[in-house]
Structures are given as C-alpha cells and as structure tokens.
Amino acid sequence: MDIMAILSFLLLGALIGILSGFFGIGGGILLTPLLLVFGYEASAAIALSLMLTLGSTTAGTISHIKLKNVNPKHALLIGAFGVVGTWVATPLVFYLETLDGAKPVISLAYIALLTYFAISFFRSKQHVEGSVGSESVPRIGFIGLFGGFISSLMGVSGGFVLTPLQVKLLNTEMKRAVGTSITAALLIVLSGVVSYAIAGADTNYWHGIALIAGAMIGSPIGAKQLQRFSSQLVKKALGGFYVAVALSVALNLLGFNDISLGLLVVLALTFIVALFVRPTTAAK
C-alpha cells in the first residue's frame, strides 16, 4: 500500500468534493478526464470516479436535505430510472474497450454534452426561487434514464446532466435542482459502482476508498457555500465550468495532455478559492 498515493487521492477527493457539493455534479466530471490524462484505462478511470462520486453524493445528500434543497419524490423517481440506465451503459464501455474506442467516444460525449448544457445555462431564464418543478413522470423518467446512462458511460454522478435537465424540462429552480440531483445521483452511483465491480473493472480499491473519504470531507463544505450565492450566479458559474472542462477534454483528445491537465488543475483551484473569498451576499 503506497501511503503517499493514498494521501494524494484523499486530498484530490476533498478538493473535488467541494466543487461537487456546490454544483451538485458528483465530481467525476473532473476526475474521469484527469485519470484519462494520467493514462488509466477507461473502465478503471470510470470505476474510481464512481467511487469518488459515491462519497460526494452521500455527503452532499445529507447536506442538501438539511438545507431543504431536495424534492424527495423527484429524487427517488429520477434515481430509480437512473439505475436502469447504469446497467445499460456498463457493458457498452467494456465493449468499446475491446475496440480501443472507449476513450475517444467518452471524450467526445463529454465535449458535446458539456458544451450544450453550458450554452443552455447562459441562455436560460430566471426561475422562481424555491420552485420544486413540474410533476411530469415521463420527463422525470427520461431525466433519470439519461442521467444513469451517462453516469456509467463517463464515470460521473450524472448530476451534470440531471441538474440542467431539471431546470430545463421541469422548470425547477437552480438550488432545488442541485439538491435533488445529488440525492438522485446517490442511487445511480451506487448502482454504477456495483455494476463495474461485477463486470471486473481493474480498480485499486484503496485509492477508491481514499477518494470516498476525501469527497465526504469536501462535499458538505461546498454545499454550505452554495447558500451564499444567487441561483442565477450559480448557473453562470456552472456554465463557465462546463466550457472549461470541455476545452480540457478536447485538448487531451488532441494530444495536448500537459496543457489539458494544467487547465483542469487551475480551473478547480480557481473555483474553490472563489467560493471562499467572495463576500457573503443575500441569495436572490
């Protein structure tokens, strides 16, 4: 057991956990591209990322329930449909690995989805503060299925699609969407971890446990900071975050690994510093 490596993964989990708790995105959206840059196989990177998001979503769920940011009915329905989506995606990833096509497919999916949702955030209208969203079961089911599929395809909680889809399709206010997404993602991620374990992903579980512990430390900190910012500002910040991650993934796909890695590190640290140095304002 490499103690320094475990401590590094613990710190990494804590830093990503802060962003996860704030944005309701699980954290895998940063970790999967990072591990791909480091040369991990897609299935191993996804399995580790899902373990990280298991920690961040567990801690984030507890925090957002306490902050009353969760629609329990929507969270359970989205999570249940999402479980189905995870079991569809996992065998697809292993099949793509046999064709040496997993990394480019996952990278292109990241770029396309992140760019689309970033644009939707920048163009979206303001929603009524505290709005729980509509009760359309077909739309909720679609959100869950799609989020679960993306979760196991990319090693993410699915929150980066669950949050904007709730805003867009259900007209849910941003903070409520964040809390509901991370709660639904807990079910989705747990299912994803189990599916990859059963499928035999080559994963260092000590590193995974360190990521879980770090995420559970960082996620509540990020969730608490969310209350200091308006929903509109959170949407714009998340849109910018998505654009930067998409650019990093594109650079990695083109072979600029060092630049891609540097951009991810600078992006994460910049957002974390901004959360704590910005003066407290009334959320509007």
pTM of the model: 0.71
Taken as a whole, the chain contains a residue count of 284
- Give tens-digit pLDDT for 209-243: 998 898 888 888 887 887 788 777 887 888 888 88
Report whether pLDDT(56) > 80: no
Q: How far apart are CA 141 and CA 166, in angstroms?
A: 11
Q: Which amino acid is at 29?
A: I
pLDDT of residue 130: 52
pLDDT at 152 over 70: yes
* Integer Cα distance of 186 and 181 in angstroms: 9
Confidence class of residue 76 from pLDDT cuts 50, 70 and 90? very high
Give the DSSP H/E element, type plus range, for residue 12. helix 3-23
What pLDDT is stored for residue 282 in this prediction? 45
Q: In whole angstroms, give the CA distance from residue 72 to residue 87.
A: 23
CA dihedral (90, 92, 96, 101) positive or negative: negative
Q: Which amino acid is at 123?
A: R
Alpha-helix residue ranges (DSSP H) falling in the chain: 3-23, 28-37, 42-66, 72-98, 102-123, 137-154, 159-169, 174-199, 205-226, 231-253, 257-277
Band (278; pLDDT cuts 50, 70, 90): low
Q: Distance (Å, rounded) from C-alpha 244 to C-alpha 262?
A: 11
Could you tell me if 71 and 172 are in contact, meaning their C-beta atoms sit under 8 angstroms apart? yes
Average pLDDT over the chain reads 83
Residue pair 4/206 in contact by the 8 Å Cβ criterion: no
The upper half-sphere exposure of residue 97, i.e. CA atoms within 13 Å in the direction of its Cβ, equals: 17
